[in-house]
């Protein structure tokens, strides 16, 4: 009985193709995790600004809201830092940095920075323009 010279060609092709396909799928998952962490950072910054812009609020109020919000995400978006760079008497600005989760062994988690800004709440007398 003669053996075909193509015997095992499909197995060899799959052995070469499978790691490539798996790598592409994992890259899509990793990109999705980066996007998700980015959106979580934006939402946390907005939440912090909303808590910090209320009349009588302190920067610690905004920080606490950011920490509480990102605490829901566990390792998908870990809080790296919160700052108030750019805040003044009339504006609240919060900058949030988060570390992302990594599914690929050779890609470390990225740090993503997002910010939000809003005017501070203040009361004025009726008919008086600021």
- The tally of domains found in the chain comes to 1
Residue 73 covered by a domain: yes
Residues of the chain with pLDDT > 90, as a percent, come to 55
Q: Which CATH number do you get for residue 58? A: 3.30.1300
Residue 46 covered by a domain: yes
Domain interval for residue 74: 10-119
| pLDDT for residue 36 is more than 90 | yes
Q: End-to-end CA distance of the chain: give it in Å, rounded.
A: 97
Q: How much is the pTM?
A: 0.81
pLDDT at 104: 83
Burial string for 95-124 (b: 16+ CB within 10 Å, else e) reads bbbbbbbeeeeeeebeebebbbeeebeeee
Residue 1 covered by a domain: no
């Amino acid at each position: 009985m003669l053996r075909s010279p193509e015997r095992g060609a499909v197995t060899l092709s799959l052995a070469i193709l499978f790691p490539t396909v798996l790598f592409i799928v994992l890259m899509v998952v990793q990109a999705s995790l980066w996007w998700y962490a980015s959106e979580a950072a934006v939402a946390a910054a907005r939440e912090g600004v909303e808590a910090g812009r209320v009349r009588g609020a302190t920067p610690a109020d905004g920080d606490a809201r950011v920490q509480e919000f990102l605490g829901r995400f566990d390792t998908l978006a870990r809080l790296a830092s919160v700052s108030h760079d750019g805040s003044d008497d009339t504006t609240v600005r919060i900058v949030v940095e988060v570390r992302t989760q990594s599914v690929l062994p050779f890609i470390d988690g990225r740090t993503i920075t997002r910010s939000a800004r809003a005017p501070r709440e203040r009361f004025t007398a009726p008919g008086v323009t600021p």
